[in-house]
Amino acid sequence: MGQGKGEGERLVKSLHAVFDNTRPVCYVLAMKVECDGKTLEYDKPMAIYKLMEHLLLNKETYLAMVNNRLVTEDYKAGKDDEVKFIKVVSGG
Amino acid sequence: MKCRVCGEPASISLKAYSTALCAPDFISFLENRTLTTIKKYHLIEEGEKPIIAVSGGKDSLSIWSMLNKLGYPADGIYIHLGIGDYSDISLSRIIKMADILKRKVYTFNIRNVLGKSVDELARAMKRVPCSACGMIKRYVMNRICMDKGYTTLVTGHNIDDEAAALFGNMLYWKEEYLGKKNLVLEGMEGHLSKKVKPFFLCSEREIAAYAILNNIDYIHDECPFSVGAKTLIYKGILNKLEESSPGTKIQFIKGYLKTFAAHKKEDGERADSFCSKCGYPTYGDICNFCRVIERLNIEGHIHFDEYNASSLDSSEQLVT
């Protein structure tokens, strides 16, 4: 009830991925994003600047790394990528 | 984005300069800019013997690494403030860098020397930890230079530190501090070491990128006492301005330097008396550090632990 056709199909596909014994189980279903000690998951590719807007991160305050490589804000991160935002501000 | 120099995928965009650079070209860019700053403002000159004030963070470890790479061999000085794991982890990062650079690092452990950690000392002084920390650092950094023959104290202060401090001083119109910040603070023979800030015109973001791209293992954690500090609030505000108007911070600081340079000759206000105990400049008869030591009956003898990863002669002079 209330679920669109697309969402329903995605759910069925995920369940198949988990319970289908004929192929290896893949646990990487989404792009992992680490920021300020928290880990989030996104299920669709997204440009770094979009992610930063979504997470309300200032582009002067954070650097973005994808799979341990420094990238610019226009880089499009995919579902198997591990994105990490590094806070650069320090001092007191 | 593509690197403006070589056309390869860029690692960092620099909106203040309307450019983007790949890892090797960005490293060259920041090193060239720092070298230009050192030469233009006469930060480290021939025959001088610099020492780096290291904290284990990105700024101080980056400047230590960079200066040694650029032909300015330098040792390090670390003040262990006794802040639990934070101080120990910081020291481990510094020792690691000393090993890589094959340089010497001195450690002043305040608990061993003064019998108290920085927060205990601050409580005894009825001050906040940051105030006690600043006082100890100013004294100890000067002391290492005087005792061990270093002519120039190098710190990792960057444009964000300077802009935030300037912003704070302007907000509250602390006229006594306005105009005092600069890339070079000249020393006083036998009393005060020269202090220089080669990263004065580099941003925290650029320095963090430099550290990451050079695999510099720095401590990411913040000092636990910096939580809620006004400096961090000012940095946040300035970064919001910078994000919407790239180049704001550099304009702010360069404008300040221009104004400062214009008024430098008029501003001759400096401590002209010396502490009767230690000989360092002070506005009274005795400096704050010596007053605290006396008031709290601390009898610790000032000494430095020494970690020597150097294969070089310790009396080596800078050759440029």
Supply the range of the domain harboring residue B129: 46-308
B203: chain A residues, CB-CB within 8 Å: 60
Give B72-99 pLDDT, tens digit per residue: 999 999 999 999 999 999 999 999 999 9
* Cross-chain residue pair A92–B213, CB shorter than 8 Å: no
Residue B68 located in a structural domain: yes
Residues linked to residue B104 through DSSP beta bridges, in sequence order? B308
Domains of chain B: total: 1
pLDDT for residue A27: 46
Residue B76 located in a structural domain: yes
Which tokens in the block code for residue B231? Answer: 């400096």
Answer yes or no: is pLDDT of B227 > 60: yes
Least confident of B64-68, B263-267, B289-293: B263-267
* Distance of alpha carbon B300 from alpha carbon B278, whole angstroms: 14
Supply the pTM of this predicted model: 0.89
* Cross-chain residue pair A70–B209, CB shorter than 8 Å: yes
Give B240-268 pLDDT, tens digit per residue: 999 999 999 999 999 999 987 566 655 55
Residue B193 located in a structural domain: yes
Residue B126 located in a structural domain: yes
Of B146, B260, B150, B245, the closest CA to residue B200 belongs to B260
Taking residues B123-131, report their average pLDDT.
93
Please state the domain extents for chain A: 5-87
Taking residues B14-30, report their average pLDDT.
98
- Given pLDDT bands bounded at 50, 70 and 90, which one contains residue B179? confident
Answer yes or no: is pLDDT of B317 > 60: no
Least confident of B10-14, B165-169, B262-266, B292-296: B262-266
* Cross-chain residue pair B209–A91, CB shorter than 8 Å: no
A interface test, pick of B22, B59, B93, B212 with most A CB neighbours within 10 Å: B212
Largest CA distance in chain A: 56
Residue B9 located in a structural domain: no
Residue B196 located in a structural domain: yes
A interface test, pick of B54, B131, B160, B167 with most A CB neighbours within 10 Å: B160
A73: chain B residues, CB-CB within 8 Å: 13
Give A1-46 pLDDT, tens digit per residue: 344 556 666 655 655 554 444 444 444 567 999 999 999 999 889 9
* Cross-chain residue pair B222–A90, CB shorter than 8 Å: yes
Residue B20 located in a structural domain: no
Question: Domain with B156 in it: what CATH number?
Answer: 3.40.50.620
* Cross-chain residue pair A91–B212, CB shorter than 8 Å: no
* Cross-chain residue pair B212–A86, CB shorter than 8 Å: yes
Q: In chain A, which residue's Cα lies nearest the Cα of B226? A: A92
A–B CB contacts, 8 A cutoff, strictly below: 76
What superfamily does domain A5-87 belong to in CATH? Beta-grasp domain (3.10.20.30)
B311 or A42: which leads in pLDDT: A42
ipTM for the assembly: 0.90
